[in-house]
Structure 1
């Protein structure tokens, strides 16, 4: 590894730089009128400009090679073209008017293409769109994406669920590096703020070819906000108020770029009281979060690099039962204090017709859990039912009254990802690379959830995209090896060979199909291998098994899409076969008055899909009707259902979008989400009733002192429905999910 880094450093200091420029104009294809403020962007170079008042643009400092150029503006179809430099012609780009939302580049797939060009179906949403729909937290926002749900503990703690798989079966990427934060536990949140996140991409299905172990179920890829365009700067500040929790989040940022250097800064604070239902406040669902993001970039013709740092500190109440009714934002015992540090480096060296990407991440997760301590069980029983004394002991149970954490873990991780983009050979684009991870877990508290251990990963991969006139094929293979060294004496080695092949083709003028076959794997985590004790917050005594094998899965995914100027229709279906699926099962015994659960393995299968419709009728292009249906079923080979499978749901949305003289980008929406009864449950779950949730909102941009002020107002659960989501960890305590909430958001941009 050291030798490779020395070579890369040498290559990063070329003595002669080839500098090219791309100039041209962007016009309306029907009228030939120039288009002002159209975006011209080269994703591999991460360089962009906008057209001037005459529709002209100039993109400079481009190295030799072939690069994709993306041109987009609201109200027009997105334009994509690969251009080989040196390129001396003036480019005239004609855009076709369209009511369909403009496309964006998909970053989570290796070849960085538009979704319409991708072989793999990837869902993408901007964070701004999710916030406009009333999302309170990042984990809350992702549940609006088709095929994605969240295992929640109150409002503050949520884990992504992709087509029925979660925890260590779903990878999260932030700042281009793999996020490691003890994600094995349902009660462990993401440890990330939505502040400074530009968009979210979701790969549904095994992505081990691209990302290695733990991407067996899919990937949640979080794209950070971009730097400012060259020779420009921007500042903004925002404030959001949430009526239900009497809470707020606020953030401010500034970014500036010159010809070579660029930087950005963003800080945010969020505080929420216990969320309210129609009957009560859910005690100790309160939380506080502070977040800081800093970025520094440098770019010349043959080399670009960026360094990003994210510090996130959260204090999260852990709800247990309904108790005191207050709007205090200070967590009670028990509560978690989690600090995440993410330092990432992302660099690219450009050669004449190829490039080398080097991503390195340093992550530090500091996790503490503070618990109530009682003198004995008799004292607990004596206090049971005496809610009138809770106010007297509020100070005793506050976060300041307990200094030493019962559970204290530090997780340190080094990630590296090196990919070489080979020269394009005819119809072939090819990438080869290596990825790896070195990780240590250390305990400092009186309790131990998982043991001290060191984990090392190494993987090598190759993938190609083959272009034909009417079809595209993507295929690849990968080998991975994981070594786990537990300080107590357990040493384990796991390895797997995985592959993927996909086909995208146009069956007719407006009909596209995508067929993908892929395998993935997941090595057992430390909890599954070594647990032997009570898992606090779950009311289970868990016993691991150090003889557990790799999980290995095979998925077939078929997508059909129809699209014209006014109708979009998609049908996605999948079948996922998982060998040696690891799960918890009660054995009927009690230890310390706690039911005992063993980690076992059995083959399993998941199947289902998503169906969606987007209709924007002519001439009412400002009117949109969207509908989507999601279904997933998970079973073991003995026909027992798998746990934590989300209920089927149907979402219908009516949305309007248009510009006026007074308000730019005005929008409004009404949404009804119908979640059906879930009675296909595992042996230690209970069924969940169905429910309907009504949401609505509107917003737009007005001018204030010659700058943009964005205003949004949205309401969720407007009927104040009493309901319990099947994936809520508070379901066993009979605690309802959040009731009616109104969100007011303001963002001022300089």
Structure 2
């Protein structure tokens, strides 16, 4: 089936040659009339762009007839958004100097707007920006975004938490397709390397209108790195060192682009020892290794664009249980996971007169193996562990193969007055097959189908956006025998849901923006919640599913206010999220296999809170940046008690300095950051309260330019005071295991 699908994807890349349109122009400084070099020129509807040359001139070829948004941006200037018609005469563009940071186009929402023009508030950060602040991996890096935290098992396993919701309630998109890799499990990480990811976008709140089931809490949208500009060839060698885990990661990239064809390839490797906590004690078996390969082939003509991407990721991750052998070895001990994840995607775009058709196909193959410990003697050495690991390496206790086919067809209708409208269908076919002796979830098939329509209405100061969607999910599983010899009957269930979203944005004088969004979302119960019956090793409990569970259905109200000028920015985000039939796990008085028994139940829940932030860059000290953000979320069950895994309130203060660059040494910066996490005095059932803590971080860096070569250097440190602390979202906290201590990161990137 895999070979047939690959052939189908490749055949879909058909090309038709059309007559060419060319868009040319010049970009200058409004005040000085000087040409602006290396300004970004981008047509978001075509996903086509270039940069201006030394004379401020630019040229874009193979442009279809029609009317398009043209976005022009450059560091130190206000981003300009204008409408152009093609064919067009040469255009002259002038940018106004500004201290406000350059805006980016948001990809995760349907109309590819600038952030300031988007009806739905979306957080966007470049991966390079997150890495410069000392992120060990992708799940660690996203915690720097207000409202986003990570549910961790050591440093190798992390899952995004958006405003208190995680696992199957947060949908992850990569290469334009939804990531499916058994993400229901607390001890399952993202399975994606940050190398080869260009930026991350976060939708905080229900996004079922755009993405269907599982986007009830939000979306983490990972944008792959872009191809080289037309006629250019680039290569880069990146390397990072982490003092705490004695870890390193190396990545090599090469890409080249012609007028129509583009190629990209990247290979990465990372390896980490057990992390050291604030007591200078290594947490046994938190070591992990990762191999990652990414490749892409792009084609673009006047009326057709294709992007074929492939990502292979192999992760070997230790599963920590207790503090034991102290070692700097990097090979995982038993128990550990070995996970192979393949993602193949093809994005086809067909451009017509003032409309377009977008057809995405995706195929994923996830092979998850878990190797468990046999009965060890208490005094067993690490060498004996390693010998037993070798003996067991060919016989995993658990092996699951998850295969997923995704499709997403969207038609962008011709613009009608001030209305832009998109209609589409999305779906998924998925199979889960067991090969090991242990079964966490049964062999099963999943069918998803969704149909939706969304429209955007633009006025001078107002923008409105709304839409409707219908989804159906069918789950069929095969009966199996559980560890306690019970027979778990197969299920054949169908879940349906209608959802809607409505939002409004008001903008006054390019300074004040107010957004109000109302949205519903849903999540069908997953196979684990419906059919599990067995010992859950990572959680030290015996879990029993409930085949009668219904959809989770939520409704969220989100209000976002922003004020910005040349020297000051501030925002306030507030939300209230009501979830009907919230699924949670509850203990019984039973004991099976010497473990306490937990069963899945449902009740209504409510989450509320928000984020507040300011950014000051005073004139004439435009190089000085003072940033502060506060985030809070509270989650309660309607029947009483608090929800589990709700992050504690926190405030982050950052002082950042951007030094003036020269032709040789540019993009110089330094920062110092203090994150204060408050006490979590509202623990969920089976949780305990968690004391607050403060973490100090700092860093500096810059770029050295050698004509066609550049060397980017950075150094950063987290938890510089080596604090002993527990994160409320650490799954190692119940075992009395502290989080990571002081960690210094040194990075170098050499590119041509």
Q: Distance in 2 between matches of 1:396 and 1:214?
A: 41
Q: How many residues align?
A: 735
Please name the residue that 2:235 is paired with: 235
Q: How does 1:577-726 map to 2 (within 5 A)?
A: 577-661=578-662, 662-704=664-706, 706-726=708-728
How far 1:41 sits from its partner (Å)? 1.3
Please name the residue that 2:524 is paired with: 523
- Give the 3 Å change call, closer, same or farther, for CA 83–155 of structure 1 in structure 2: same
Please name the residue that 2:450 is paired with: 459
Please name the residue that 1:48 is paired with: 49
Alignment of 1:71 with 2:72, yes or no, is yes
Q: Distance in 2 between matches of 1:108 and 1:91?
A: 30
How far 1:589 sits from its partner (Å)? 2.2
How far 1:48 sits from its partner (Å)? 1.5
Please name the residue that 2:483 is paired with: none
Q: How does 1:544-555 map to 2 (within 5 A)?
A: 544-555=545-556
Whether the 8 Å contact between 1:333 and 1:399 is mirrored in structure 2 is: no
Q: How does 1:332-351 map to 2 (within 5 A)?
A: 332-351=333-352
Matched position secondary structure for 1:514: strand
How far 1:731 sits from its partner (Å)? 0.6
Whether the 8 Å contact between 2:334 and 2:385 is mirrored in structure 1 is: no
How far 1:13 sits from its partner (Å)? 6.6
Q: Distance in 2 between matches of 1:515 and 1:300?
A: 39
Q: How does 1:277-292 map to 2 (within 5 A)?
A: 277-279=277-279, 280-292=281-293
Matched position secondary structure for 1:182: coil
Whether the 8 Å contact between 2:625 and 2:657 is mirrored in structure 1 is: yes
- TM-score with structure 1 length normalisation? 0.96
Which 5+ residue runs of structure 1 have no aligned equivalent? 1-6, 375-379
Matched position secondary structure for 2:386: helix
Q: Distance in 2 between matches of 1:640 and 1:140?
A: 29
**Once the two structures are superposed, what CA deviation does each residue of 1:76-96 show, in whole Å capped at 9, x if it has no partner?**
111112222222x22111111
Matched position secondary structure for 1:62: coil
- Give the 3 Å change call, closer, same or farther, for CA 366–466 of structure 1 in structure 2: same
Whether the 8 Å contact between 2:606 and 2:638 is mirrored in structure 1 is: yes
Please name the residue that 1:260 is paired with: 260
Please name the residue that 2:468 is paired with: 477
Q: How does 1:150-161 map to 2 (within 5 A)?
A: 150-161=150-161
Whether the 8 Å contact between 1:335 and 1:399 is mirrored in structure 2 is: no
- TM-score with structure 2 length normalisation? 0.96
Q: Distance in 1 between matches of 2:135 and 2:301?
A: 39
Q: Distance in 2 between matches of 1:619 and 1:390?
A: 63
How far 1:46 sits from its partner (Å)? 2.2
Select 1:741's aligned residue among 740, 743, 751: 743
Q: Distance in 1 between matches of 2:579 and 2:19?
A: 50
Q: Distance in 2 between matches of 1:625 and 1:92?
A: 36
Q: Distance in 1 between matches of 2:43 and 2:707?
A: 33
**Once the two structures are superposed, what CA deviation does each residue of 1:210-268 show, in whole Å capped at 9, x if it has no partner?**
00000010000000000111111100001101111111000000000111111000000
Please name the residue that 1:370 is paired with: 371
Q: Distance in 2 between matches of 1:368 and 1:571?
A: 44
- Give the 3 Å change call, closer, same or farther, for CA 401–534 of structure 1 in structure 2: closer
**Once the two structures are superposed, what CA deviation does each residue of 1:293-325 show, in whole Å capped at 9, x if it has no partner?**
010011110101010000000100000000111
Q: Distance in 1 between matches of 2:17 and 2:714?
A: 50
Q: Distance in 2 between matches of 1:72 and 1:397?
A: 58
**Once the two structures are superposed, what CA deviation does each residue of 1:545-596 show, in whole Å capped at 9, x if it has no partner?**
1110000000000000001111010000000000000000112322222111
Whether the 8 Å contact between 2:268 and 2:293 is mirrored in structure 1 is: yes
Q: Distance in 1 between matches of 2:264 and 2:361?
A: 19
Whether the 8 Å contact between 2:230 and 2:257 is mirrored in structure 1 is: yes
Q: Distance in 2 between matches of 1:168 and 1:14?
A: 39
Q: Distance in 2 between matches of 1:329 and 1:77?
A: 48
Matched position secondary structure for 1:393: helix
How far 1:43 sits from its partner (Å)? 2.0
Q: Distance in 1 between matches of 2:351 and 2:296?
A: 22
How far 1:645 sits from its partner (Å)? 0.3
- Give the 3 Å change call, closer, same or farther, for CA 392–702 of structure 1 in structure 2: closer
Q: How does 1:388-399 map to 2 (within 5 A)?
A: 389-391=380-382, 393-398=384-389
**Once the two structures are superposed, what CA deviation does each residue of 1:629-672 show, in whole Å capped at 9, x if it has no partner?**
00000000022100100010000000011333242000100000
- Give the 3 Å change call, closer, same or farther, for CA 86–704 of structure 1 in structure 2: closer
Q: Distance in 2 between matches of 1:71 and 1:509?
A: 17
Whether the 8 Å contact between 2:13 and 2:348 is mirrored in structure 1 is: no
- Give the 3 Å change call, closer, same or farther, for CA 14–406 of structure 1 in structure 2: closer
Q: Distance in 1 between matches of 2:519 and 2:47?
A: 30
Q: Distance in 1 between matches of 2:391 and 2:365?
A: 24
Q: Distance in 1 between matches of 2:391 and 2:131?
A: 33
How far 1:18 sits from its partner (Å)? 4.4
Whether the 8 Å contact between 2:448 and 2:473 is mirrored in structure 1 is: yes
| Cα RMSD, aligned residues only | 1.8
- Give the 3 Å change call, closer, same or farther, for CA 324–19 of structure 1 in structure 2: same
- Give the 3 Å change call, closer, same or farther, for CA 360–392 of structure 1 in structure 2: closer
Q: Distance in 1 between matches of 2:509 and 2:301?
A: 44
- Give the 3 Å change call, closer, same or farther, for CA 401–587 of structure 1 in structure 2: closer
Whether the 8 Å contact between 1:236 and 1:747 is mirrored in structure 2 is: yes
Q: Distance in 1 between matches of 2:72 and 2:659?
A: 21
Q: Distance in 2 between matches of 1:202 and 1:163?
A: 11
Whether the 8 Å contact between 2:17 and 2:301 is mirrored in structure 1 is: no
Please name the residue that 1:407 is paired with: 398
Deviates more, 1:56-65 or 1:736-745: 56-65
Q: Distance in 1 between matches of 2:71 and 2:419?
A: 20
Q: Distance in 2 between matches of 1:264 and 1:9?
A: 17
Please name the residue that 2:542 is paired with: 541
Whether the 8 Å contact between 1:456 and 1:484 is mirrored in structure 2 is: yes
Q: Distance in 2 between matches of 1:645 and 1:399?
A: 39
- Give the 3 Å change call, closer, same or farther, for CA 9–527 of structure 1 in structure 2: closer
Matched position secondary structure for 1:583: strand
How far 1:390 sits from its partner (Å)? 2.5
How far 1:509 sits from its partner (Å)? 5.6
Q: Distance in 1 between matches of 2:199 and 2:458?
A: 27
How far 1:19 sits from its partner (Å)? 2.2
Matched position secondary structure for 2:325: coil
- Give the 3 Å change call, closer, same or farther, for CA 181–33 of structure 1 in structure 2: same
Q: Distance in 1 between matches of 2:738 and 2:13?
A: 56
Whether the 8 Å contact between 1:332 and 1:399 is mirrored in structure 2 is: no
- Give the 3 Å change call, closer, same or farther, for CA 10–643 of structure 1 in structure 2: closer
Q: Distance in 1 between matches of 2:707 and 2:232?
A: 20
**Once the two structures are superposed, what CA deviation does each residue of 1:444-469 show, in whole Å capped at 9, x if it has no partner?**
00100000000000000000010011
Q: How does 1:9-408 map to 2 (within 5 A)?
A: 17-87=18-88, 89-279=89-279, 280-374=281-375, 383-384=377-378, 386=379, 389-391=380-382, 393-398=384-389, 401-408=392-399
- Give the 3 Å change call, closer, same or farther, for CA 12–698 of structure 1 in structure 2: closer
Whether the 8 Å contact between 1:14 and 1:302 is mirrored in structure 2 is: no
Whether the 8 Å contact between 2:216 and 2:521 is mirrored in structure 1 is: yes
